[in-house]
Structure 1
Amino acid sequence: MSFKMTDKVTWVGKIDWELRRFHGDEYSTDKGTSYNSYLVRDKKTVLIDTVWEPYAHEFIANLKKEIDLKEIDYIIAQHGESDHSGALPLLLKEIPGTPVYCTKNGRKILEGHYHEDWNFVEVKTGDTLEIGDSTLTFVEARMLHWPDSMMTYMSGDNILFSNDAFGQHYASEFMYNDKVDQCELYVEALKYYANILTPFSKLVTMKINEVLSFNLPLSMIATSHGIIWRDDPAQIVHKYLEWANDYQENQISLVYDSMWHGTRRMAEAIAEGIREEDPEVTVKLFNAAITDKNDIIAEIFKSKGVLFGSSTVNKSIQHAVGGILDMIRGLDFKNKKASSFGSYGWSGESVQILSDRLEASGFEIVQPGIKALWNPDQSAKAECFEFGKSFAKSFK
């Protein structure tokens, strides 16, 4: 499959309908994904990025249907991660010596992955490549989301090849933002930002403001995953600026695990108290043991407040909740309030452990946690109800 985006630019990537896990088992891709590669033909011919290694042979075969590989003058490797560079070894066996344009860090990462001495050309922000009527300008985007990441701007067609920035893991045969389900698109775009780019939010803001300062006309943002932004492409740029600014919605999320439903019953009573105090707030409950972890992260990203709950197990917390806490510590969320709760039998350490770990992750602990012995009775549920009301009041 390939399709023409403009007279000069053709998409030559791969739609992966079957993918359900990414980054090992770290990221869920329930909507599949795409590996977007772009062929630019002017007086010179340029290939921007490739595809994941399992599809390398298919990619090369399809590329040969589109062009004689010997006509490719330059390859641009915007990011060394395997989902973008995986077909490079096979491609460069076909056309050895073809210059590979990348950042200095990109060269190190590509050499580290493939242990090949390719014809690297290192570039930095502001460097250009004249390809005929159009000029390609390189923009380093360090830590968005790897040290080697960069973008490439094509004059004339006014396309920003943005690599991982502004993308989503979202498979669609339509490939353009104006042709897909808008709700699905933004759910996947926010999930992508929340799980992958949140730790680098300050850098996101700085890089976007830097690019905007160039006052470049923008007709299209060609991402490396998911759909291409052609209808008002700046809309996703504005969303990124919003998401990078300590984002929150009027939502409170409760994340818990429970051995014999005691902690679940506490969560439900706390949620009732929150709703009683503030009927307008969105309240969502997630059992960490059975809910997709990346979906939970996206909901925490949207929330102004979170409550974590766990039964006490061996003087500690349940591992599903612990895993989510490990994830959020690395994501460095800002401007969110929190507290903790949990049931116990004889020691009851879980509530304090949860509170300590939330505080260590940058959450503002607005009230001491609450614990209930064994299965909470009506009196304990009433205390949880009041606990929820008190938590809701902290936002007023």
Structure 2
Amino acid sequence: MPSRLFPLGGPVSEKDIVDREDFLVSLETRLLEGQSIMLAGPRRIGKTSLALEVLRRIKAKSCHIAFVDLFRYNTKREFSLAIIDACLENRSGISKTTAALKEGLKKIAGGARLTAKVQDLELEIGLPGEGESDDELFNYALRFPEILAKKDKKQIVVVFDEFQEIIRIAGEDALKVMRSYFQMHERVSYLFLGSKEGMMNTIFGDKRQAFYRFATMLPLPPITREAWNEYLSSKFAEKRIVVKGNSISEIIDLSGGHPQDTMLLCSEVYYALIEAGEVRLTLDFVRIGYNRAMLTLSPVFDELLDELGKISYVRQTLIDIAKGLRIYSGRNVNPNEIKRAVDTLVSKAIIEKTSRGSYNFVEPMLKSYLINKIDVY
């Protein structure tokens, strides 16, 4: 079986992060200086990969780190224990430390040495008891990163992935509680990631919100065409595949440089080459890979369209934008309805406004799919 040349379906390693070194250096510097950061953007553009790479670099500088993905949790108690667990992994080297403590220190895997580490934490810091309410545990968890950082005389960087989910998990009032603790922390900096840009921008940019101006809102820079060309050429060269003509440029044009879609397209091109026993990348193989990638993405796009179809005028407005039609004229629809449809598409990070009446697709292959789709809504 060939190794996976182009990573898919999750965070990528440092060597597969394309054209982000300057941004990573800036992010690391800011976090180590104690600044908290907010990064918002649609899913599958590399936010989590960047966060994990920054944590790796920060840990290498003898700092504590913690990563909490809010998509995994449904209750305030689950989220609270996740924060404590993520922080304790810096000391105990095991996951689910709090769950293990409930079963008794003697049952913790790893022997006496590990048990002593956890006993030290229990006796000198004090772990939450089973009788505490969810609110008490939540308050304790929010204090815990600073408690641990001071106890160990370390700085700690905490990443909250999909931070907007806190409202689903604990309600809007939880934001006020979190801010009240976080603003007092001296040894902790926070990196907030979110895929729902509208919600994240409201949480951090609306002066009526508790987290207003708590974190610096950094835009994620686009990957340049030159960087993609260099990266993709080197990846195919790893397998001694000879790139013919403008095949790489065609890949970038078709994917629009969207990180995950570009990786998917290249992966399908690569496997098409393997199956054909060919070592020359030509435009014909790019087209085969593109068609295969579209087959993979079709169910995803269809599900998205079905979801958008539940909201008045949204799906048709998206299709009209894809086809380059003037969305505010030629239709017997109230302009306010069209504006609401556009605002919905922007808030869902499907399109982005570039100028008055002009929009870009965040995922260019979705635009191509809509243009070429036979079914007319």
TM range (shorter): under 0.3
Bigger fraction of residues in strand: 1
Bigger fraction of residues in helix: 2
Task: Give TM-score, length-normalised by structure 1.
Answer: 0.26
RCO comparison, higher one (Cα < 8 Å, 6+): 2
Task: Give TM-score, length-normalised by structure 2.
Answer: 0.27
